[in-house]
Amino acid sequence: MLGCTPETSDKELKLAYRRKAAEYHPDKIASKGLPEEFMRHADDQMKSITVAYEAIVEARKQQAKVVS
């Protein structure tokens, strides 16, 4: 979803998240006057992007605890 690999740094991961979020952010889509069905699609994509980012961050936190 974010186009990252396990080797992607935390900084690059956050940047990838922000790029994708900016692409599908509902406010940005609304300002373009796009149809309602695209708004729903953008909302679904934004949720998927956020879930993917949060899952990766959480997995990295868990892995860091195991290594420590």
Per-residue pLDDT reduced to its tens digit, 36-47: 888 899 999 999
Q: Which two tokens stand for residue 44?
A: 């679904």
DSSP helix, strand, coil percent of the chain (3-state; round to 5):
80, 0, 20
Residue 31 pLDDT class (50, 70, 90 cuts) = confident
Residue 34 pLDDT class (50, 70, 90 cuts) = confident
Nearest to 55 by CA among 9, 19, 11, 2: 2
Amino acid at 52: A
- How far is it, in rounded angstroms, from Cα 24 to Cα 10? 21
